[in-house]
Structure 1
Amino acid sequence: MNYFLTYTVYVLILSVLMGISTWKLFKKMGYSPLFAFIPFYNYFIILKETKHPKWWAVLSYLPIVGPIMMSVFHLYLMKKFGKTLFKDQFLTVILPFIYMAVVNYAKDTELEDESTNELFLTDEEKNAKKKDTFFGSITFAVVFATIIHVFITQPFGIPTGSMERTLLVGDFLFVNKWSYGYRLPMRPLAIPFLQGTIMDTGQKGNPKDDPKSYVDGVKLPYTRILQFNKPQKNDVVVFNYPQDSVHTAIDRKDPYVKRCVATAGDTFEMRAGRLFVNGKPETVLGDQEVQHRYIVNTGSQLDIPTLYNTYGFLPVQEVQTDKGYLYAFQGLTDKTAKEIKELPQVIDMKEEVSPKGEAAVYYRDEAKTKIDTTQSIFPINKPWNQDWYGPVRIPKKGDVVAINAETLPMYQWIISEYEHNSLENKNGKIFINGKEATQYTIQQDYYMMVGDNRDASLDARFFGFVPEENIVGKPMFTWMSLQGAFKDGSSTYQAPFKIRWDRMFKATNTGEANKTSYWWIAAMILILFFGWEYFVKLFRKKKTEDEL
C-alpha cells in the first residue's frame, strides 16, 4: 500500500472508533449519530457546539499534530457533557475512546446547562474559565510550533567540529524541509519536538532499550512530494544517519549535517587527504577552507586558551614527551598552520597523512593500540583509509551492479536495509528475496556526504552512501550560535561560554564567504507574533462587550 492509502486506512479506523464511542452524544447534541463516524466533520461539529474555531478540524488527523488536537477536541466534548473533573480529563486523554464510550452509553449522561450569563458566574467559575483560556493558549502555541517543526522547518544543533569553518560547534540552524521535496512523516504517532528517544537512560547495555519518542507499530511508507530539486554537489545537507541501528524508522534516525561532495553517478576519491570528484580536484567555495591534520612538537606547553581565542580551534591531543610536548591538531588551514609553525615553542610541524593501503579501520590514539571497529572504513574489505579512499562510483537509480563476494560489502546495506530486500549468503552463493542473484538494480539515488573538516569527520567514508530517502533538507540560516554549548569530546579543554552575535541569523547554504543576514526575518516574526496577540485580545474584548 502506498502512503496515502495507508494514511486513509488509519483515518477510517480512528473515525470508526470515534463513532462507536460518541454516536449517542452527537444525537443528544441534535445531530445524526452517523455524523460521529465522518472524518473531520465529527470534530467540526464538536468545535461548533463548544464555540471554538471550526477550522481547527482540519488538524484532527494530521501526523503527530493530530493526536494532540484530537485529545483537545475530546476534552471539549466531555466538558460539553459536564465531565470537568481532573479524573475525567485524565481518562479522556489516556483512554479516549474507552472513556468516551463509558460516557456515551451511560444512562445519566446529559448536556451541561450553558445558559448562565457570564455576569452571574461565581469567582470559582470565573477562575476555572481563565484557566481553560490559559491552557487553551498554551496548547495552541504547542500545536502551532509542532506544525512548523513537522511540516516546514526543524531546528538542528551542531555538537561536533566535523563541519568546522563552515558550521561551528554550538551553531543552531533552521533546516528547510522542502528543499528537496517534502518527506512525509513515517511515524505519525509521536511526541512533538523529540527525535528518536524520550531520554538517554545512561545505563550500560543496549541503547535500543531507551524509551522511544514514537510508536513504531504505527507506520507509514516513505513518500516524498513536490520534489523539484535533488541535492547538488557542494550543498550542505541534513540527513538521517543511515546506519543507525537503534531506530528502524528512517525519519527517527539521528540527524547528521555534512557537505554533499558527490551525487549519484559521480566517482569519489581521496588522494593523500585531497578530495577528487570525477578525477578533478574539489571546488572550494567561498565559505569553505581546506583543512588538514598536523602533528606539532614543542619545547614547552602551548597556551591553549589563547590559541582558541585567536583561531577558534583546539588541539585534539596533548602529550608530554622527554623533549617537551606533542600536539595533534585537526582542521588547520594553510594560513593557520603557517602561523602556528612560527610560534616560538614549536620545534617541528608536519601534516599527518595516513599511508596508502593502511588497514581499513580508524584508530583512536596515536599509538594505534585501541581499534574502534564501529568506525571501520566503508566498505570493510577495501585497503582504504580516510586519506586514501576509492575511487568509488556513487550508485544511481537504475544502475545494474554485479553482486559477488567482492562487491557484496559495498552493496549489502543498499540491498537489505535501504531498499528493504531479504539478503542471504549461503555457501558462496548470494540470494536476494529467496532467489540466487549475480546482479542487482539500484532502486534510488545515493550521495556521498563528507565533512569540511576532513580529518575530524565521521562521514560517508565510514558509514557509506546516503540514500535519497534519508535526506531531510538544507540548512537555511543560523538562528543562534553559542560557544561552549557542547563539550568537544576530542579535547580536554572546554571553551568559555559566549554568544557569537556575528553568526546569528546568517545564511548557511549559499557558499558565499560573506553570508546574507536574516535579522529582518527575526524582527518580522516578533512583530507578527506580538501584533497578532494584541489584535486577538482586542477582538475578544470587543466581542465580550458586544455580548453584554
Structure 2
Amino acid sequence: MNYFLTYCFYVLILSLLMGLSTWKLFKKMGYHPLLAFIPFYNYALVLKGTHHPQWWTFFSYLPIVGPIMMSVFHVFLMKKTGRTSSVPILLTILLPFLYMAFVNYSKNTQIVDDSQDTGEKKETFSGALVYAVVFATVIHTFMIQPFAVPTGSMERTILVGDFLFVNKLNYGYRFPMRPVALPFLQGTIGGSANPKKASKSYIDGVKLPYFRLPGWEKIKRNDIVVFNYPGDSVHVAIDRKDPYVKRVVGIPGDIIEMKEGRLFVNHQPEKRMGDAEVQHSYLAYTSTALDINRLWKIYGYLPLQEDEISAGGYVYQFQGLTDKVASEIGQFPEVVKMEEVISPKGKAAISYFDPQKTKVDTAQSIFPINQPWNADQYGPLKIPKKGDLVSINKDNLPQYQRIIHKYEGHKLEQKEGKIFIDGKETHQYHIEQDYYFMMGDNRDASLDARFFGFVPEQYIVGKPMFTWLSLQGVFDEGPKKVRWERMFKASNTGEAHKTSYWWIAACLLVLFFGWEFFIKIFKKRKEND
C-alpha cells in the first residue's frame, strides 16, 4: 500500500507540473485548460492532438520507462508549437517543465495546424531508435534482465564470462525503488576504480518503498538465484546494489553448518543437484615441476600459486578443484601428495582495515563477527523465518542487528548493557520477512553468506533462465574465445547435462527482425487483391 501511495504522490506532482507548464497550450489546441492537470488523460490528449496512437499513454508514468516516454511526449507537444530544431528539443528533454512553461506563457506561441500531415513518419515511434530503447527497457525493467558473471564463485556450474538472462517474475516481481534512472545501467555510469566517486545512474532523491507481487513459485533449496549484494556500501537503494549469483543452500528455518569444509543442512550432509560441482582449495606437492600446459589442456585449470620448497620439489596451490579432479591430479607421477586446504576449528576469520587491528572489515570477515568460525568451520546457524520470535541478548545481537536495523528498518540501541528497539527495552524480536543463505559452488573462492550473512527476501532479483552468451577471457586471464557449447543452455534445471534452447532463440530472432518484412508482404498482397 505504501508503494502505491508514494507512486500516486509522484504522479500528482508530475501532473501538477505538466498542467502549470502547458495549460495555455491545451486551450490553444481546443481542450479545456484543466485537462492539462489530469494524470494520463493529459498525455492521451497530447498524443491525440499530435496524431500518435493514444495507447502509448500507458507508458507515461511507468518506473524507468516513464521518464523516457514523457520526454518523447513533451517533444511531440513542442513540435506542435513549431519548435522542431535541435536546441528546443534538447531543452525540452533536459529542462522539460521549465522550457514548456516558457513556451506556454510566451505571447507569440502558436499551434501549428498539422491535421493534413498524416504521412508515414507519424506512424513511427518517433524513430526506430526510441522504439527499440523503450521496448528493450520495458523487457529489462519488468520481465527479463541480462546479467554478466565476472567471478568464479559458481565455477563449473556457471562460468566466468557467462551472460545470463534472469527471470524477474518467478519469485514475484519486485517493483523498482528508484523509478527515475538511465535504462540498462545498474548503479553507476561507466567504470571507476572507486565506485563511491562514480556518477550514479539513478536519482536517489526520487524513491519508492519496497513492494513485490506474488510469484508462481517459492525459492527452493539448491535454486540458483540472482540477488542484490547486502554488503554493497555504495548504494542505499536495494535494487541498485551490485547483483550477485549464488546457490540457495538454506531456506528460512534451516540450520546451516560447515564441518571440515563440508556443508551440512539441518544436521545432514547437503544434497547436491546434478550440476553442482563443489570445489575446494588444494595443495599439490611435487618432486618436479608440473606440466602447466598439460593441466590446462585436460582441465582448463592453472595453479593459483607456485613455490619451490627447500627440501626439493615444488608446491602448487589450486583455488578450486572438485574432489574427482584433485584425485586425478594426485595420480600424476610427479605429484607426491595432494592436501586439501582446511582452516582449523576455532580460528576466527576476521579481517581488519589497519595493521593495528582497530577497525574490522566486516565485508571480508566471517558472519557474525563475534563467533570463532571460519569458511570451513562454520555454525551451526539457524536461518530466520518470517514470524519467528527470537531472543535478543548481547551475545547473539551481532547475528540479528542487520536484520533489525538495516533490513527491517527499526532503531536499534544499546544503553548500559540493555537493548532498545524503537526506544523500548526488549529481549525479543519478531522477524518480519524471510531470509536465505547463499553460497557459491566454488567454496573457497566465494564471497557469500558466510561473510555477508542472511539475504533478505527484499534483495532477491530473480532466477537465471539460460546462458545467452559465453565468452572465455572477457573477465579473466586465458585464451579469448566464444564457448559456443554453452550458448542458450538452461541454467537452473539442476541437471548435469542441460538442454540447449538455441532453436527457440533462432525463431525469436527471425520473428523480431523479419516482422516488418512479413508485414510489408502482407500489405502488398492485400493491396493487389
Matches within 5 A, 1:305-454: 305-322=293-310, 323-361=312-350, 374-454=363-443
Alignment-derived partner of residue 144 in structure 1: 135
- In structure 2, what is the equivalent of residue 58 of structure 1? 58
Mapped to 1, the partners of 2:132 and 2:175 lie a distance apart of 22
What displacement does 1:513 show?
1.2
Identity of matched residues, % = 66
Q: What TM-score do you get using the length of structure 1 for normalisation?
A: 0.90
CA 1:12 to 1:536, structure 2 compared with 1: closer, same or farther past 3 Å? Answer: farther
**2:519 maps to 1:517:** no
Contact 1:360 1:382 in 2 (8 A): no
User: 2:37 aligned with 1:37, yes or no?
Assistant: yes
Match of 1:159 among 150, 154, 176: 150
Q: Distance in 1 between matches of 2:147 and 2:74?
A: 33
Q: Distance in 1 between matches of 2:505 and 2:235?
A: 35
What amino acid sits opposite 1:295 in the alignment?
A: L
Letter of the 2:426 partner, please give it. Answer: A
CA offsets 1:184-214 (integer angstroms, 9 cap, x no match) = 11110011111111133325xxx43321111
**How far is the alpha carbon of 1:340 from its aligned partner?**
0.9
CA distance in 2, matches of 1:346, 1:434: 63
The answer as to 2:217 corresponding to 1:229 is: yes
Contact 1:308 1:495 in 2 (8 A): no
User: Which residue number corresponds to residue 470 of structure 1?
Assistant: 459
- The 2-side partners of 1:25 and 1:390 are apart by 67
Given that 1:63 and 1:185 are in contact with CA atoms closer than 8 Å, whether structure 2 keeps it comes out as yes
Query: TM-score, length-normalised on structure 2?
Result: 0.93
Asked if 1:92 is matched to 2:83, the reply is no
* 1:305 to partner: Cα distance: 4.2
Q: Structure 1 residues 309, 148: CA separation in 2 closer, same or farther (over 3 Å shift)?
A: farther
Instruction: Tell me the residue number matched to 1:367.
Output: none
Rounded to whole Å, the distance in 1 between the matches of 2:59 and 2:132 is: 14
Tell me if the contact between 2:26 and 2:33 (Cα under 8 Å) persists in the aligned partners: yes
Q: Please give the alpha-carbon distance, in whole angstroms, between the structure 2 residues aligned to 1:485 and 1:200.
A: 15
Structure 2 residues not aligned, in runs of 5+: 354-359
1:189 corresponds to 2:172? no
Structure 1: how far apart are the matches of 2:211 and 2:524? 45
**Aligned residues of 1:24 and 1:33 also touching (Cα < 8 A):** yes
CA distance in structure 2 between the partners assigned to 1:53 and 1:390 by the alignment: 60
- Distance 1:309-1:48 versus aligned 2 partners, 3 A rule: farther
CA contact (8 A) 1:506 1:518 kept: yes
Partners of 1:453 and 1:539 in 2: CA distance? 54
Equivalent residue letter for 1:186: M
Partners of 1:93 and 1:252 in 2: CA distance: 24
Work out whether 1:532 is the aligned partner of 2:515.
yes
Query: What is the DSSP-based 3-state SS (H/G/I as helix, E as strand, rest coil) of the residue aligned with 1:326?
Result: strand
Match of 1:498 among 458, 462, 481: 481
2:21 alignment counterpart? 21
Residue 259 (str. 1) matches residue 247 (str. 2): yes
**C-alpha deviation, 1:291, in angstroms:** 2.1
Cross-structure match for 2:357: none
Letter in 2 for 1:110: Q
C-alpha distance 94-542 of structure 1, shift in aligned 2 (>3 A)? farther
Equivalent residue, structure 2, for 1:198? 189
The 1-side partners of 2:523 and 2:178 are apart by 38
1:343 is paired with a residue whose SS is coil
> In 1, Cα distance between the equivalents of 2:473 and 2:330?
27
Cα distance in 1 for partners of 2:259, 2:503 equals 44
Q: Give the SS at the match of 2:348.
A: coil
Partners of 1:362 and 1:313 in 2: CA distance: 28
Check 1:422–1:209 CA distance in 2 against 1; reply closer, same or farther (3 A cut). Answer: farther
Q: Matched residues in 2 for 1:503 and 1:390: separation?
A: 36
- The structure-2 alpha-carbon separation of the partners of 1:535 and 1:59, relative to structure 1 and needing over 3 Å to count, comes to farther
Q: CA shift at 1:320, angstroms?
A: 3.3
Q: What letter matches 1:2 in structure 2?
A: N
Amino acid at match of 1:380: I
Output the CA distance in 1 between the equivalents of 2:170 and 2:199: 31
- State the 1:36 CA deviation: 1.2
Partner amino acid for 1:172? F
Structure-1 separation of matches of 2:522 and 2:137 = 26
Contact 2:231–2:363 under 8 Å retained in 1: no
1:291 corresponding residue in structure 2: 279
Q: CA deviation at 1:531?
A: 2.4
- Aligned partners of 2:92, 2:192: CA distance in 1, in Å? 30
* Superposition pairs of residues 210-249 of structure 1, within 5 angstroms: 210-249=198-237
Question: Separation in 2 of the partners of 1:522 and 1:105?
Answer: 52
What 5-or-longer segments of structure 1 have no aligned partner?
Answer: 120-125, 365-370, 488-493
User: 2: CA distance between counterparts of 1:326 and 1:373?
Assistant: 32
Query: 1:479 aligns to what SS in structure 2?
Result: strand
Provide the aligned length of Structure 1 versus Structure 2.
521
**Equivalent pair of 2:142/2:168 in contact (CA under 8 Å):** yes
